Amino acid sequence: MLRNLAMPRVCLLLPLLLVLLTGCSESDPEALAAPLPIEDGDSCHVCGMLIQDFPGPKGEAFLKGQETPSKFCSTLELFTFLKQPENETRLSHAYVHDIGKTTWVQPADEAFIRASEAWYVVGHERRGAMGHTLASFAERGEAEAFRDDHGGRLVTYEEIDLDLLGRLGRGELGGAGMDAHTAH
């Protein structure tokens, strides 16, 4: 008799346990691979330049199924790569430096934040590896303060597209016309 009463409880607990275990899958944002340090000799996935030789925020991107990130010498290079149609569908997640928490001259590895959650300032006067780059911030207020000091305009991750990146590269959004190799 006791055995028959315990069986319905087990049957009720099993589906609950399965639901809880399903919540621990790789799609959980907490399970995403963390950014890796940018080390001496790391080169940009797009242009091949040594990443540490240049100022400004950098980026890292993990494509689906990729255990190590592709690294980029600037946020402009990162987004030029990410916004290509063949890469947009393969993106797992990406990171950028939070310039509100680190220096422009040599961003710290500890200051990486999720690119999709950042605020960006475009068209400002500061230069990075490829001339103009997108200044990235975790906090909107810090992005607004940077904009007030250095010009430009605020954009979100969703607003960054190939048209915007092309206009930045052509210097159409303010002071972006510096040659990439004279940017430091």
| Kind of pairing between the strands at 119-122 and 153-156 | antiparallel
Q: pLDDT tens digits for 53-108?
A: 999 999 999 999 989 999 999 999 999 999 999 999 999 999 999 999 999 999 99
Tell me the C-alpha distance between 4 and 71, whole Å: 60
Q: What percent of the chain has pLDDT over 70?
A: 78
**Which residue did the predictor score with more confidence, 50 or 170?**
50
Please give the model's pTM, rounded to 2 decimal places. 0.79
Q: How many CB atoms lie within 10 A of CB 80?
A: 20
Q: For residue 60, what are the β-bridge partners?
A: 71, 95
- In the numeric block, which tokens belong to residue 108? 């710290």
Check residue 122 and give its pLDDT.
97
Three-point CA angle 38, 41, 42, nearest 5°: 45
